[in-house]
Structure 1
């Protein structure tokens, strides 16, 4: 009997496609994803954690390697949560997204004059010759609903003259969401691992960095905390599970704090 060959790799691109097409929301269909962001755009920023450590690291990479003559393309820029704080490190920025509603929020923040907004389907833009290469390309949580991962990464690599930064997670976020998925029998999405495997399959050797960030939520009472957690467990069990992350407040409320890792895959395309 022949022993299994440990060097044989499964088809990461086929696995990715199957996982994307299995998403019940159907957000791999551009019109459905645009409809989702139409409903979420106005409240998106308020629901997202700040990423000061990740922004500081990226800012250092852009300024250190590329200096003031750099250009940055943010693919899936959304409301500019990362684009805007990084804009000061480069001379030219392109914010690309397929949601006009998300880009409208970005524009409302009065971005600097050297930032260009481009509204286009991501899959189309990555192979559009009118979109010129940039010194650095950033794609932060923006590939999750693109079935053609090979095409997406090939396009990103084409557009990145010097550096490609992919930001993702491996499905470990807030404690209550992680438990909710476990109780529902839902597999933990390991997109960062899949992206790393995919880059290796394309002949790239990305550096892999995990940057720890902190998220904190404050609730006026236990009912509000339980409503956020939405766990199918008795109140006492929920509070026991969340206890390591909770601090009771004098007014009867709760401070809920946890850490999470941002996975950064960094492909260096050229010399500084």
Structure 2
């Protein structure tokens, strides 16, 4: 394996929907990502810990603890850490306005990019009509979702044995159900309306596990995705530009290049950047 370069450094990193405590959490991939990415500010945009799942049965392997320790270590090394609770870790909303382990807990934040734009940072569950008005149905849906994620894990285990890369069965199913597509559109519209109401130029959210950056009419909608299906994060470069990082795709490309021998200097740079 080629020696890794120093971590990529960004102005800001946005992570959400890690779901520590859930069997579908891709903690090893997140650890890999955190090892090679640093930022001046890291926003944890909700559902980092899956309190709903932990209430039904305790599941906390060492890799999940390692993720917590890795995030806290980034704070100790100088990154500003901001935790915005979501619906699955809503127990932390009792601690809004406090600090723990160098992490600031906020209900929402107004982030200013390097190029002067204001972005509302919020998990987004407050604008999900199911979570707001039918919490029992949201819990039922979370249970069904966990079942799909379990199938997704087994499916990808078989793909690895066949030498194939990661592919999200659950995300594929979700985006092919008409009601789910309509739900995503309504969610995006509601978040955009709230961001405009508070005078923001855009919004950064999580909750629906669908990574996306959309620019229209001078407004920017950003969803960070998740670390159970897509394994994505959003990074702000030092010039204010936002980018979705698809970590499984980067790792798969790096592995293919490495297996082929990384024959050119350009290939070698790609592998080292991914590592």
Identify the structure with bigger relative contact order (alpha carbons < 8 Å, sequence gap 6+). Answer: 2
| Shared fold, TM over 0.5 | no
TM-score (norm 2): 0.29
